[in-house]
Amino acid sequence: MSAKSVTTKALAKKLSEKSRVVQAVKVQDIEDAVKSPYFSPVQTRHQRKNNKSQRKGSEAPVKSGKPTSTSANSKPIKVNALTNNIELQSVKIKENVSEIKDIHLDSNKTNAKTESQDKWEPQNWRLILENIRAMRADATAPVDTMGCHKCSDNEADEKTQRFQKLVALMLSSQTKDEITYEAMQRLKSSGLTPQAIIEIETGKLEELLKPVSFYKNKAKYLQLASTMLVDKYDSDIPSTSKELQTLPGVGPKMAHICMATAWNQVTGIGVDVHVHRIANRLKWLPKPTKEPEQTREGLESWLPRDMWQDVNHLLVGFGQTVCKALRPQCSECLNREICPSSTYKSTTKKKIKSESANIAPKISKLENP
The rounded distance, in Å, linking the Cα atoms of 158 and 165 is 11
Does the predicted TM-score (pTM) go above 0.85? no
Task: Tell me how far apart the alpha carbons of residues 267 and 336 are, in angstroms, rounded to a whole number.
Answer: 32
Distances (CA, A) of 281 to 122, 250, 285, 289: 12, 27, 9, 11
Assess if residue 351 is contained within a domain. no
Same domain, 38 and 129: no
Task: Say if residue 213's pLDDT is above 60.
Answer: yes
pLDDT tens by residue, 329-353: 999 999 999 999 999 886 554 443 4
- Shared domain for 194 and 276, answered yes or no, is yes
- The mean pLDDT value of the chain amounts to 79
Handedness of CA 329, 330, 334, 340 (dihedral sign): positive
Residue 31 predicted with pLDDT over 50: no
Q: Is residue 165 part of a domain?
A: yes
pLDDT of 122:
96
Flag whether 173 is in a domain: yes
Confidence check: pLDDT of 365 > 60 = no
C-alpha to C-alpha distance for 54 and 37, rounded to whole angstroms: 10
Residues designated as active site: 253
| Residue-wise burial string across 212-250, b where 16 or more C-beta atoms lie within 10 A, e elsewhere | beebeebbbbbbebbeebbeebeebbbeebeebeebbbb
* Full domain range(s) for residue 213: 125-332
Mean pLDDT for the stretch of residues 114-122: 69
The C-alpha atoms of residue 161 and residue 87 are separated, in whole angstroms, by 79
Same-domain pairing of 176 and 323: yes
Has residue 364 been placed in a domain?
Answer: no
Taken as a whole, the chain contains a residue count of: 369
Is there a single domain that holds both residue 54 and residue 135?
A: no
| pLDDT value for 200 | 97
Q: Residues 180-209: what's their mean pLDDT?
A: 97
Confidence grade of residue 21 (pLDDT, cut at 50, 70, 90): very low
Distance in angstroms (rounded) separating the CA atoms of residues 35 and 29? 10
Measured between alpha carbons, how far is 249 from 225 in angstroms, rounded to an integer?
A: 8
The total of structural domains in the chain comes to: 3
- End-to-end distance of the chain based on CA atoms, in angstroms? 151
* pLDDT over 70 at 178, yes or no: yes
Residue 11 binned pLDDT confidence (cut-offs 50, 70, 90): low
Of 97-101, 255-259, 284-288, least confident by mean pLDDT is 97-101
Nearest to 346, CA basis, from 354, 336, 355: 336
Average confidence (pLDDT) over 233-240: 98
Residue 343 lies in a domain: no
Express as a percent the part of the chain with pLDDT over 70. Answer: 62
User: CB-based burial of residue 353 (10 Å sphere; 0-12 exposed, 13-18 middle, 19+ buried)?
Assistant: exposed
Radius of gyration, alpha carbons of the chain: 47
Helices (H), 118-155: 125-138, 142-146
Q: What pLDDT does 46 receive?
A: 64
Q: Report which of residues 103 and 327 the model is more confident about.
A: 327
pLDDT computed for residue 345 by the predictor? 80
Regarding whether 145 and 91 lie in a shared domain, the answer is no
Residue 50 lies in a domain: yes
Check whether 19 has a pLDDT greater than 80. Answer: no
- What are the b/e assignments for 35-56, b being 16+ CB within 10 Å? eebeeeeeeeeeeeeeeeeebe
Q: pLDDT digit string (tens) for 281-309?
A: 999 999 999 999 999 999 999 999 999 99
Q: Supply the pLDDT for residue 92.
A: 60
Residues 21 and 83 in one domain: no
Kindly report, residue by residue over 43-93, the tens digit of the pLDDT: 556 666 666 665 655 555 545 444 444 444 444 444 455 555 555 566 565
Whether residue 154 sits in one domain with residue 33: no
CATH classification at residue 265? 1.10.340.30
One domain, residues 233 and 281: yes
